[in-house]
């Protein structure tokens, strides 16, 4: 009996050793040059029903092998790379309906000789923490990667913490087993690939779900301002400064674009919000910090927060744009960016 148990234990340990070796050889940890495709969704090709805005239909969400949407030219011929969270990734819009692609169309229609290629590098949930990760763990692994401009559509996902959130490629408040699961996912080896294929086959809806849903328009008056202390302002400015340096190091030109939602409204000079957070105050302060940083660093930026006026049909959940809303965003960016194009 003891001998049989010993044999089973030895075989089990040998099996674990072999699996560990295979996991390391075929994973990202051993070969650091590999892209983290579980995070970037490289070569994604999903089709699913849209129940969020009219007209309802099937949405096709596609990414290429680099993790980009909308790349037409060679990877060293990109004109504009757009970076942001879900409001840039726009998972519930067809590629042609995203603000990145609509902006490309507007530029090329107005300046037909430019033949601009605007490429979408948005990742759901990313903040400036995640955008910095992109420069350290994504773009350097793309051979011959080059872009003239990098547009950062930022403000809504910002937070202040020494620990990065999972959406920014970090761990926060995870237990021991969750850390192991996160490591396996980040390694993207045989174990996680097998798990993901099975999970995707039976739970595709969960794979695609990023928490977007239609919200009820229940606004209420709010008087308390959203507080951002000096330490938080300093922290955000540090990240903005770093993004500018990383962009210039990449021989690209950075342009920050601020954001606005419909989680708030102003009626008779009184602020209304969908809950106890003063979203108007919050978004306004983030916009001001970003624009002041642009002025300090002498870079061209677009204050979309103060320039856009979303309509009833612009945002399906008060935050993320419909194709109509994406067109509004693209219009404002185009009208502002024309000043740069006309000077060149």
pLDDT in tens, the chain (344 residues): 666 676 677 666 666 666 666 656 655 655 555 888 888 999 999 887 888 898 888 889 999 999 999 999 999 999 999 999 999 999 999 999 999 999 999 999 999 999 999 999 999 999 999 999 999 999 999 999 999 999 999 999 998 765 555 556 655 556 656 666 665 566 666 666 666 666 555 555 555 555 677 777 789 999 899 999 999 999 999 999 999 999 999 999 999 999 999 999 999 999 999 999 999 999 999 999 999 999 999 999 999 999 999 998 999 999 999 999 999 999 999 999 999 998 87
Report pLDDT for 214.
77
Claim to verify: residue 321 and residue 290 sit in the same structural domain: yes
Claim to verify: residue 49 and residue 177 sit in the same structural domain: yes
Claim to verify: residue 4 and residue 149 sit in the same structural domain: no
CATH of the domain at 67: 3.40.50.1110
- Give the range of the structural domain holding residue 26, as residue numbers without chain letter: 1-31
Claim to verify: residue 255 and residue 154 sit in the same structural domain: yes
The answer for residues whose C-beta is within 8 angstroms of residue 103's C-beta and 6 or more apart is 80, 118, 330, 333, 334, 337
Report pLDDT for 190.
61
Q: How many residues does the chain have?
A: 344
Claim to verify: residue 238 and residue 114 sit in the same structural domain: yes
In this structure, is residue 55 part of a structural domain?
A: yes
In this structure, is residue 269 part of a structural domain?
A: no
In this structure, is residue 295 part of a structural domain?
A: yes
In this structure, is residue 214 part of a structural domain?
A: no
Entry pTM: 0.84
Claim to verify: residue 19 and residue 165 sit in the same structural domain: no
Question: Tokens 């620990």 sit at which residue?
Answer: 163
Report pLDDT for 34.
80
**What count of other Cβ atoms lies within 10 Å of the Cβ of residue 255?**
22
Number of domains in the chain: 2
In this structure, is residue 48 part of a structural domain?
A: yes
Report pLDDT for 272.
95
Report pLDDT for 213.
77
In this structure, is residue 178 part of a structural domain?
A: yes
Claim to verify: residue 100 and residue 244 sit in the same structural domain: yes
In this structure, is residue 216 part of a structural domain?
A: no
In this structure, is residue 271 part of a structural domain?
A: no
Report pLDDT for 48.
79
Claim to verify: residue 68 and residue 158 sit in the same structural domain: yes
Whole-number Cα distances in Å, 342 to 107, 110, 114, 252, 299: 12, 11, 12, 18, 16
Claim to verify: residue 6 and residue 147 sit in the same structural domain: no
Query: Among the residues of the chain, which ranges form H helices?
Result: 2-26, 37-40, 86-89, 99-110, 128-137, 176-187, 190-202, 204-208, 230-249, 279-297, 304-307, 323-343
Claim to verify: residue 50 and residue 122 sit in the same structural domain: yes
Reduced 3-state DSSP string for 127-193: CHHHHHHHHHHCHHHCCCCCEEEEEEECCCCCCCCCCCCHHHCCCCCCCHHHHHHHHHHHHCCHHHH
Claim to verify: residue 8 and residue 145 sit in the same structural domain: no
Cβ–Cβ < 8 Å for 152, 100: no
Report pLDDT for 160.
78
Report pLDDT for 173.
58
Claim to verify: residue 195 and residue 140 sit in the same structural domain: yes
Give Cα 273 to chain centroid, integer Å.
Answer: 25
Report pLDDT for 326.
98
């Amino acid at each position: 009996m003891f001998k049989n148990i010993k044999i089973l234990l030895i075989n089990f340990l040998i099996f674990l050793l072999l699996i560990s070796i295979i996991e390391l050889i075929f994973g990202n940890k051993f070969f650091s040059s590999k892209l983290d495709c579980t995070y970037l969704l490289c070569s994604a090709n999903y089709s699913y029903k849209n129940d969020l805005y009219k007209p309802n239909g099937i949405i096709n969400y596609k990414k290429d092998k680099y993790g980009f949407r909308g790349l037409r030219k060679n990877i060293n011929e990109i004109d504009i790379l757009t970076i942001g969270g879900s409001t840039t990734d726009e998972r519930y819009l067809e590629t042609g309906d995203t603000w990145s692609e609509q902006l490309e169309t507007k530029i090329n229609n107005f300046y037909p000789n430019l033949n601009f290629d605007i490429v979408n590098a948005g990742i759901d949930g990313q903040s400036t923490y995640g955008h910095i990760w992109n420069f350290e763990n994504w773009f350097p692994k793309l051979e011959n990667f080059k872009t003239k401009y990098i547009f950062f559509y930022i403000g809504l996902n910002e937070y202040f913490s020494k620990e990065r959130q999972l959406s920014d490629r970090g761990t926060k408040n995870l237990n021991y087993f969750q850390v192991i699961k996160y490591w396996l996912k980040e390694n993207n080896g045989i174990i996680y690939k097998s798990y993901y294929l099975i999970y995707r086959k039976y739970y595709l809806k969960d794979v695609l779900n990023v928490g977007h849903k239609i919200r009820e328009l229940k606004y209420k008056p709010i008087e308390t301002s959203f507080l951002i202390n000096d330490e938080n302002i300093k922290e955000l400015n540090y990240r903005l400064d770093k993004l500018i340096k990383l962009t210039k190091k990449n021989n690209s030109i950075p342009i920050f674009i601020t954001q606005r939602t419909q989680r708030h409204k102003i009626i008779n000079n009184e602020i209304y919000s969908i809950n106890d957070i003063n979203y108007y105050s919050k978004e306004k302060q983030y916009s001001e910090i970003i624009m002041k940083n642009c002025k300090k660093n002498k870079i061209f930026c677009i204050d979309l927060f103060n320039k856009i006026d979303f309509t009833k049909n612009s945002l399906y959940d008060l935050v993320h744009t419909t194709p109509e809303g994406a067109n509004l965003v693209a219009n404002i960016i185009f009208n502002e960016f024309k000043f740069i194009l006309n000077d060149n």
